Amino acid sequence: MVDPADFPILSRTVHGNQPLVYLDNAATTQKPAVVIDAMDAYYRHSNANVHRAVHALAGEATDAYEACRATLRTWFNAERVVLTSGTTEAINLVAHGWGRAVLNEGDAIVLTEMEHHSDIVPWQMLAKERGIEVRYVPVLPDMTLDMEAYEASLEGAKLVCVVHTSNVLGVRNPVERIIERAHAVGARVLLDAAQGAPHTRIDVKALGADFLAVSAHKMLGPTGIGCLTITQAAFDEMQPFMGGGDMIEHVSLEGSTYQSNEHKFEAGTPRIAEAVGWKVAMDYLAEVDLEAEHERLLGIARWTAEQLRSLGCTVYGRHGDHDSAVVSFLHPGLHAEDFAHLLDAAGFAVRTGHHCAQPLLHRLGIDSTVRASFYLYNTMAEAEAFIERVTHVLARFGGNA
């Protein structure tokens, strides 16, 4: 594991004197001091706009910004990396930049019931505008995708959008098979890897993912930045989404021509300080044995799930070998919101609600869960303290639903 002392925020207390136990990592992760310091140093020493002026600071800022892209290109083994505000904007970029250029009335796209709203709503908006058919792959009672239904849905499909790892269940989908079958019918594939990328090293070339959407803040980086990796073939099919500075080659009153590289999709002054911070976060992650960490965190999640079940909770998820360390649960005697407030009273930060995945929760027959999600700095001792608190809360308040 990483040293929790690298993360300044983890030493604070909440509600007076309760030590913070941060278990809301699927929402956002904490930042190591090196990331915070790098962003601070950027603003103190190198701040300038990128890709424009010839002065020294502009050169430093441009180099730093492009270094983030280069790091991501290597990390994901990607042909193209467009920096976005996060996963949501990355998916919207596919909808607007690729979808509008390629999809026409009568075309079909395939989504799943497991998607985050960010991978549903942009497609519903485009479908309404373009008359595109949206097909949804159901989730089975064992909380996996119905792969038979998936294969049946592929006929005539132009695009498949699927979540790599569910933010609610932690279930890692069989993306290799999903991509292989989609490509067999000539469909492109977009993977929402907001939850997958922080937990496992994803090689988009090996996977064959045409598009991969990622958020920095879920993998130790700053908020406000993410990326979309794109294969060159898919990149060539895209048209610009937003117009403005940085994306143009030449502008006249009669018309404009655009950059041919990733800048074409990065209109306006980009997130420079955030790119600086993300690059440092990626360098920090590169020093972590993610495979070993995956084993360790999954072990904590499995133990936590088992304890919760023994306390009468229903756990939503299966914690298979490749799933992420997310534990979603409910107790029949205590409403999820009440549960989360009572955990928070003792310093345990968890998420509650629909997790921006209402169709999935609807399929599961519930409208919210309590979700504890573990990351690199979490310890078994924290999981034990968490279960101790859950036990206490249920003993005192568990007959109240």
Partner 1 sequence: MVSEALAEVLEEFEAIEDRTQRFELLFDLADDVTELPTDEWSEGNRVKGCQSQAHIDVRVEDGLVHLRGGADARIVQGLMGLLSLGMNGQTVDVARQVTLDIVEATGLLNSLTPSRSNGFRTMYDMVMSTMGEA
User: Taking CB under 8 A as the criterion, which residues in 358-377 touch partner 1?
Assistant: 368
Site string for partner 1, 310-349 (x = CB under 8 A): ------------------------xxxxx--xx-xxx---
Minimal distance, residue 344 CB to partner 1, in Å: 6
Q: Can you state the percent helix, strand and coil of the chain, rounding each to 5?
A: 45, 20, 35
Minimal distance, residue 356 CB to partner 1, in Å: 13
Q: Is 251 in the site for partner 1 (CB under 8 A)?
A: no
Minimal distance, residue 353 CB to partner 1, in Å: 6
Minimal distance, residue 392 CB to partner 1, in Å: 8
Q: Is 137 in the site for partner 1 (CB under 8 A)?
A: no
* Residue number with CB closer to partner 1 (66 or 344): 344
* Token digits of residue 329: 């649960």
Minimal distance, residue 293 CB to partner 1, in Å: 31
Please state, in angstroms and rounded to a whole number, the distance separating the CA atoms of residues 171 and 323. 5
How would you classify the pairing of strands 157-163 and 133-137? unpaired
Beta-carbon contacts of 105 under 8 Å, excluding residues fewer than 6 positions away, are 130, 131, 132
Cβ pair 252, 277 in contact under 8 A: no
* Residue number with CB closer to partner 1 (273 or 334): 334
User: Taking CB under 8 A as the criterion, which residues in 16-55 touch partner 1?
Assistant: 16
* Residue number with CB closer to partner 1 (201 or 341): 341
* Residue number with CB closer to partner 1 (245 or 333): 333
* Token digits of residue 28: 């956002």
Please state, in angstroms and rounded to a whole number, the distance separating the CA atoms of residues 67 and 62. 8
Considering only 107, 353, 366, 385, the residue that binds partner 1 (CB under 8 A) is 353
Minimal distance, residue 335 CB to partner 1, in Å: 4
Cα 30–chain centre separation: 15
Kindly determine how many residues on this chain lie close enough to bind partner 1 according to the rule CB under 8 A: 18
* Token digits of residue 85: 């505000």
Give the amino acid at 59.
G
User: Taking CB under 8 A as the criterion, which residues in 378-397 touch partner 1?
Assistant: 396-397
Torsion sign across C-alpha atoms 330, 336, 338, 342: positive
333-338 own/partner pairs: CB under 8 Å, 24+ apart: 333/394, 333/397, 333/398, 333/399, 333/400, 333/401, 334/393, 334/394, 334/397, 334/398, 334/400, 334/401, 335/400, 335/401, 336/368, 336/369, 336/370, 337/368, 338/397, 338/400
Q: Residue 253, exposed/middle/buried by CB under 10 A (0-12, 13-18, 19+)?
A: exposed
* Residue number with CB closer to partner 1 (100 or 335): 335
Query: DSSP alpha helices (H): ranges in 225-289?
Result: 232-237, 272-286
* Residue number with CB closer to partner 1 (107 or 338): 338
Q: Is 401 in the site for partner 1 (CB under 8 A)?
A: yes
Q: Which residues are catalytic?
A: 356
Considering only 15, 52, 128, 201, the residue that binds partner 1 (CB under 8 A) is 15
* Contacting positions for partner 1 (CB under 8 A): 15-16, 334-338, 341-342, 344-346, 353, 368, 396-397, 400-401
